[in-house]
Structures are given as C-alpha cells and as structure tokens.
Structure 1
Amino acid sequence: MLIPDPAVVALAALGIFVISFMRGAFGGGFAILGIPLLSLGMDPIVAGAFLAPMFLAMDAVALRYWKPSTGSRPDLVLLLPGLFVGIVLGFVLIRVMDRHLVSVLMAAMTLAFSALWLFGSKTAEARPRSPTRAIVAGTASGLTTMVANSGGPPVAMYLLPRGLPKAVYAGTTSLFFTVGNLVKAGPWLALSPPAGATMTMMLLTLPAVPLGIWLGWILHERLDQERMYAACYLMLTVTGLKLLFDGLRGYGMI
C-alpha cells in the first residue's frame, strides 16, 4: 500500500471535512470552499478524481439526515433534466473550455444575485416554480460542477427565491447533488483513474466525512429560517468571490 505524504493527507482531510460540513449544514453545493485546501497538494485533475468517490461517501452519509422525503420533488423534477445535460456538456468541453472565463462569469452572476438580496427586500413574495428557470439553473449547475466543482450557485439562485422551508431547501439541494455526484463520478474517474496513493488517501480521509456532516447538521438545526437563508446567501457571496479570484488569477491579473 502506497503511503502518501502526511502533510497532503492532513490538507485533504481538512478539505473533506469542510466540504462535508457544508453538506450537512446547507444540503450541498459549496464544495468549492474546501477545494483550495486540496489544491495545495494535488493536481486539479487528480483532485477531481479523488473527490468523485468521496462525494459518493458524503451522499451516503447525508441520506441519514436528508432523506428523499425531505426534498421538493416538483422542483427536482424540473431541475434534474438540465443537470444531466450540463454534466454531459461539461465532460465534452472540460478539455477545451476556458475554465477561468467560466469562473469569472459564474462569479459575476453569483455576486450580482447576492447583491440583489443584500440591498433588496428580505420579505419579497416567494417565487413560483418555473420550468424555464429550473432547466437553465440545472444545466448551468451540471456544467459548472464538472468544470470547476462549483455547481452550487446556479441551483441556489433558483431555489433560494422559492422561499422553501429551510429543511426542504437543504433536502432538495442534497438530493440534487446526490444525483449529480452519481452521474459525474464516471466521467471524472475516466479522466483520471485513482492511483494507489490516491486510494490510500481516500481511506485515510474517510472518517472526516461523517464527522463533518454531523457537525454541519447540528448547525442547520440551530439556525432558524431567516438565519439559514442569510447563511446561504453569505456562502454564495464567499463562493462568488472565490470563483472571481480563481478566474482572475488564471489570467495573471492577481
């Protein structure tokens, strides 16, 4: 059994913990906040292949807290077809697409959406379901989750204005990304099949998954509806800033 660098394992475990914590607290979609820790010790493609099975482990644990009955099935029915299309597009374009441009564009949309909430009314009437918006959001989420592991903002931009109860929102996003992770695991593993050291690191970092999700779920339970949604918008803002930083750095502007 190949033993990876202990420092890399520690960084990977911390990254997996952060991602798992976000999954337990908000249902999913904020993996990008833990990925910088992985990037300190891994090539991006290797990190993607490492994360694919780890996401499946998170999904299995998350189902204990976010059962299928907790999600909004009507919204999922509208979102999932676009997700499948977006993942296929992302897989096809991942080798030729300018990832930095994708990051900058997604950052601009995410920050604009967060600004509308920050400077607008917090008591706006909940937006009804929209097949068009759901398909666009699902497709954008599938594409960005393949290209940059940042599928959270598009689906959040659709679901947050729906005004769903906090548990339904988290359950819906959790189920959405459970399906997405299952679909994209194959393409990512085809791009970079895990080597011996990577598989060893998966086993060593696996305990961080249930711990992170459990602590995140405790936070979710302690947040009321208003604070839960405020926290989601805060996470969106942080995600948008991270995407903007990555995109600009890729162009040598930072």
Structure 2
Amino acid sequence: MPAPSALAIALAGVFLIAFMKGAFGGGFAIVGIPLLSLAMDPIEAGALLAPLFIAMDVTALRHWRPSTWSRIDLMMLLPALVIGIALGYLALRDLDRHAVEIVMGVVTLVFAAMWFLGGGEIKPRPRSTFKAGLAGLSSGVTTMVAHSGGPPLAIYLLPLGLSKALYAGTTSLFFTVGNLLKAGPWLLLATPSKSVWLLMALCAPAVPVGVWAGWRLHERLDQRALYRACYAILVVTAAKLLWDGISGKLPS
C-alpha cells in the first residue's frame, strides 16, 4: 500500500487535473503535475496518469456531447495531433525535453501578454488551416513531452471567439483522441509497477468527482469569465513550463 501522504498527494493531483478537464475541456494537466511530483518521479507520474486520462475523457464526454464539438476545427487539428504525438515520443527518447518546455513557455507567455495588453477582449479572427495544423502539431509534441498540450491548442482556439461550450467540447474531444494515442507510448516508456497500478486504482474515484465539479464551475461562469480563466491558466502553465525547462538546464 502507498504511504498515506503519497496517496493524499496523488488524489489531490488527479482531482485537480480532472477538475480542469470538466471546467475547460482539458489540456492543462501540467497544473496538477507539481502535486504529483511531490510523491513520485515525473516519468512515473506520466505512467500513472496515462490510463487515468482516458477515464477522465470518457467521463467528460457525458457532458461534452457532439453538439459541443467544432467539427470544422477538429478536422484540421486532429491529423496534425497524430503527427505531433509521434514526434513527441521521439523527443522523449532522443531530444532535449527542457528546450521544448522553454520554447513553449515563452510562446505562451507572449500570446497571453498580447491578450492582456489588448484589454482582455476577444476579437474573433478567421480560421487558418496553417495555424490549425501548427497548433495540432505543437500540442501533440507538448502533450507527449510535458503533459501540456493545452497552450498550443488554446492559442489557436481562443481567438476564434467560440462559445464557452463549443470551446470546452472541442478541447475535450481533441484531448480524448490525444490521450488515447499517447497512453500506449507512455506505458512503454515507463511500465507501471504494481504499486503504481494500486495507486492508480485508489485514485480512480477522484476522476468522476473532479470532472463533475469542474463542469459545475463551467456552468456557472459566463463567457467572459471563462475566457479570462483560460488566459490566467495559460500564464500559470507557461510559468511552470519555463521553470521546468530552465531548472532542467541548470547544472545539478
């Protein structure tokens, strides 16, 4: 059995990630990673989360039904996501993951700063196949490398000015596909031990509770408040990516 402190930390991390899934459609798993890293190695945490992500996705799809999916955007995003996950798997094996974290952190901070400097208003922009492909590709790489595929996708979707339900539903389905694709590679990179499987089973009840609580928050937020929350989370996510990347580059 895991130590009570480790179980409490893991439950809190899984609940937080599931909450973000229910409220914003997913993509912000890195917000809960710092909690999990207090109890286990980050690679081990990735193996723990891989099956739990799928459980979160299945639960969230009860709320984010097909009427909340932007099919035109998903058709442009998903093919690039598949390629991005494949590249991310190679990056985990052969490339410097900290460099990827630093670049993604800087790009996300610049994007969020432009929104704040512009007065925090959403000015809908036309769709772009190129931007959608770049977002899907970048999201695939970062979700595989750092469990942080949210920022690239948000950088593409937020300026479109989608309704809050359409934004969350599209994001949810996008990461449902991504999490299904990356579960196998992650389990190959870090095969869970018996203790991790046990911890996973003990954390599973936090998934539906967290998704439901997040969805309730989504229902209470108006359009502007939801978008403000998304941008605020982007800043937190970018700061975490920068911290992980820079600290990983520093000599030990």
- Band of TM-score, shorter chain: over 0.9
Aligned equivalents of 1:45 and 1:239: distance in 2? 18
Aligned equivalents of 1:25 and 1:161: distance in 2? 19
**What is the Cα deviation at residue 125 of structure 1?**
3.2
Q: Which letter does structure 1 place at the counterpart of 2:231?
A: Y
Question: Partner residue of 1:108?
Answer: 106
Residues 96-132 of structure 1: CA distance to partner in whole angstroms, max 9, x if unpaired? 2111111111110000000000001444531111110
Question: Partner residue of 1:147?
Answer: 145
Question: Partner residue of 2:16?
Answer: 18
1:47 lines up with 2:67 in the alignment: no
Equivalent positions of 1:161-176 (< 5 A) are 161-176=159-174
Residues 29-74 of structure 1: CA distance to partner in whole angstroms, max 9, x if unpaired? 1100001111112122211111100000101110111112211010
Residues 215-243 of structure 1: CA distance to partner in whole angstroms, max 9, x if unpaired? 11111111100111011000001101111
Residues 181-234 of structure 1: CA distance to partner in whole angstroms, max 9, x if unpaired? 000011111112222111111111111111111111111111100111011000
**What is the Cα deviation at residue 91 of structure 1?**
0.7
Aligned equivalents of 1:23 and 1:13: distance in 2? 15
Question: Partner residue of 1:83?
Answer: 81
Q: Which letter does structure 1 place at the counterpart of 2:244?
A: D
Unpaired runs of at least 5, structure 1: none
1:192 lines up with 2:199 in the alignment: no
Q: Which letter does structure 2 place at the counterpart of 1:184?
A: K
SS in structure 1 at match of 2:126: coil
1:205 lines up with 2:186 in the alignment: no
**What is the Cα deviation at residue 6 of structure 1?**
2.0
Across the aligned residues of Structure 1 and Structure 2, the Cα RMSD in angstroms comes to 1.3
Equivalent positions of 1:232-247 (< 5 A) are 232-247=230-245
Question: Identity of aligned pairs, percent?
Answer: 60
Aligned equivalents of 2:91 and 2:243: distance in 1? 22
Q: Is the Cα–Cα contact under 8 Å of residues 97 and 145 in structure 2 kept in the other structure? A: yes
- 1:37 to 1:78, Cα distance in 2 relative to 1, 3 A: same
Residues 120-146 of structure 1: CA distance to partner in whole angstroms, max 9, x if unpaired? 144453111111000000000000111
Q: Moved runs in structure 1, 4+ residues, more than 6 A? A: none
Question: Partner residue of 2:34?
Answer: 36
What's the TM-score, normalizing by structure 1? 0.96
SS in structure 1 at match of 2:94: coil
User: What number of residue pairs does the alignment pair up?
Assistant: 252
1:56 lines up with 2:54 in the alignment: yes
**What is the Cα deviation at residue 158 of structure 1?**
0.1
**What is the Cα deviation at residue 5 of structure 1?**
2.0
Q: Which letter does structure 2 place at the counterpart of 1:244?
A: L
Aligned equivalents of 1:69 and 1:197: distance in 2? 40
**What is the Cα deviation at residue 79 of structure 1?**
0.4
- 1:124 to 1:181, Cα distance in 2 relative to 1, 3 A: closer
